[in-house]
């Protein structure tokens, strides 16, 4: 049961920060609710007394900003994948992967900000954003806006001393890239056990500026992986997966090469 004492719907970021900064009232931001309301209902989250609904902050938008696509944090997954610019990006990798975030009725409520904030280990759309070199835009109580690469942002949120900030949106580079996607799941539409997303620029280069490494990212492809840790990650680093009922750590590790190879091959066919 959602046992809440308060519901707030601020109309400015300042109001939102004021509500959220009162640590005694145990308030948290509420985006679409697809995750949080369920967590409240199941009592998975019992540490919350109030929610601050971000729907009144004007953060639901998609607009082109030069060579980037700027997506507001309260934009739903459906709106993201239906927008012509994002739908075409890298041959449609965002709609391709978003199908596996859940069915339509969940995608209609879930937001980009929520997807980025939760960074579920099997979120293939998050992996696609990683491979597309997305940045996360945040603002702190002083109004300072910051842009961080998605993976850095997620890593930083794990730090206990994380300063309060709100996700306002993401930025996606609009390069003419191709992408490929490979996944392993119990059923065709189940959330993945392991998956990979590979993105290649039109010139055959990786969408990421980093130099080549030995784990899947190189000059020709940026690869992100799901199911190998607490959050999806760019390929290349060490994988220390935790096994669960869907697949053991050993199985997940053994599948990395398969899904990376297939994702890269699929991307190559789309060039």
Partner 1 sequence: MQSPITLTINGSLHHIDIHPGELLRTTLRRLRIYSVKHADETGESGADAILFTRTPEDPTSYRLVNCGLILAAQADGASIISLEGLEEEGEESATRSRKEALSPRLSALQQQFIECGAIQCGYCTPAQMLAAQHLLDKDPQPSEAAVRAAIAGVLCRCTGYLKPVQAVLRTAAQLQGKTPPPLEIDVGDAPATGEWPTPDELPPDGWRGDGPDTQTQTRSVPVTVAPPQTQVVNKAEPKVDAVKLAKGRPVFTDDVEMPGMLYGGLLTSPVAHARILSIDTSAALALPGVHAVQTYADLPRVIYASGGQSYPQPPPYDQVCLDSKVRYVGDRVATVAAETPELVQEALERIKVEYEELPAVFSPEDAMQPGAPVIHDEEDAQMIHDAKGNIAVKLRVDLNDVDDAIDSAAFVFESEYRVHQVQQSSIEPHIVITYWDEDDRLVIRTSTQVPFHVRRMVAPLLGLPVRRIRVVKPRIGGGFGGKQEMLLEDLCAHLTIETGRPVKFEYTRKLEFTSSRTRHPQRLRFRSGVDASGKLVAMDVRVVADTGAYGTHGLTVQMVTGFRALSTYWLPAARFDCDVVYTNKPVPGAFRGYGAPQALFGLEQHMEEMALAFGMDPVEFKRINWVKEGQSLPMAVAMGEGREGFPQVVESSGLAECVETGAASIGWDRRNDPEWKAPPDRPHIRRGIGLAICMHGTGIAGLDMGAASIKLNDDGSFNLLVGATDLGTGSDTVLAQIAAEALGVPLEQILIYSSDTDFTPFDTGAYASSTTYISGGAVLKAAEDVSRQIRRHAAAHLFDGTDADQLWLEGQKVVAPDGQAVPLETVALHSIHQEEQHQIMATASHMSYVSPPPFAAQYVSLEVDTETGQVTVERAAMAVDCGIAINPVTASGQVEGGMTQALGYALCEEMPYDHTGKLQIDRFGDYRILAADEMPQLDTVLVQTYEPTGPFGAKAIAEIPMDGMAPAIASAIFDATGVRIRQIPFTPERVWRALQREES
Binding footprint of partner 1 on the chain (CB under 8 A): 1-7, 9, 30, 33-34, 37-38, 40-43, 46, 50-51, 53, 55, 76, 78, 99, 102-106, 108-109, 184-191, 193, 244-248, 251, 254-255, 258
Nearer to partner 1, 11 or 46 (CB): 46
Q: CA geometry: angle at 134 spanning 263 and 157, to 5°? A: 110
Nearer to partner 1, 36 or 179 (CB): 36
CA pair distance 111, 167, nearest whole angstrom = 11
Virtual torsion, Cα 135, 243, 253, 198, nearest 10 deg: -30
Q: How far is the CB of 70 from partner 1 (least distance, A)?
A: 22
Nearer to partner 1, 38 or 204 (CB): 38
- Phi/psi for 86 (5° steps) reads -75, -30
Q: How far is the CB of 246 from partner 1 (least distance, A)?
A: 7
CA distances from 163 to 7, 9, 137, 139, 142 (A): 23, 22, 14, 10, 11
Q: How far is the CB of 62 from partner 1 (least distance, A)?
A: 16
Residues paired with residue 68 on neighbouring β-strands, in sequence order: 65, 173
Q: How far is the CB of 120 from partner 1 (least distance, A)?
A: 11
Contact 29, 118 (CB under 8 A): no
Nearer to partner 1, 73 or 134 (CB): 73
Residue owning tokens 């991307």 = 267
Nearer to partner 1, 177 or 263 (CB): 263
């Amino acid at each position: 049961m959602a046992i809440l004492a308060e519901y707030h719907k601020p109309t400015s970021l300042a109001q939102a920060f004021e509500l959220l900064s009162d640590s005694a009232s145990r308030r948290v931001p509420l985006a679409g609710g697809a995750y949080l309301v369920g967590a409240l209902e199941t009592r998975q989250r019992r540490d919350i007394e109030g929610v601050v609904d971000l729907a009144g902050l004007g953060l639901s938008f998609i607009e082109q900003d030069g060579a980037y696509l700027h997506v507001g944090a309260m934009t739903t997954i459906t709106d993201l994948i239906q927008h012509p610019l994002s739908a075409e990006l890298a041959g449609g990798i965002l709609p391709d992967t978003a199908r596996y975030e859940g069915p339509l009725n969940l995608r209609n409520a879930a937001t980009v900000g929520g997807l980025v904030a939760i960074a579920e280990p099997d979120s293939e759309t998050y992996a696609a954003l990683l491979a597309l070199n997305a940045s996360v835009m945040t603002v702190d109580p002083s109004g300072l806006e910051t842009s961080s690469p998605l993976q850095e942002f997620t890593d930083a949120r794990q730090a206990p001393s994380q300063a309060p900030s709100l996700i306002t949106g993401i930025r996606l580079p609009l390069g003419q890239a191709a992408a490929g996607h490979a996944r392993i799941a119990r059923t065709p539409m189940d959330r993945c056990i392991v998956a990979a997303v590979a993105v290649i620029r039109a010139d055959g280069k990786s969408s990421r500026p980093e130099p080549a490494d030995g784990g899947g990212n190189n000059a020709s492809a940026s690869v992100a992986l799901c199911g190998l840790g607490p959050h999806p990650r760019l390929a290349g680093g060490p994988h220390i997966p935790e096994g669960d009922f869907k697949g053991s750590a050993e199985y997940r590790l053994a599948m990395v090469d398969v899904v990376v190879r297939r994702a890269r091959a699929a991307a190559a066919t789309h060039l």
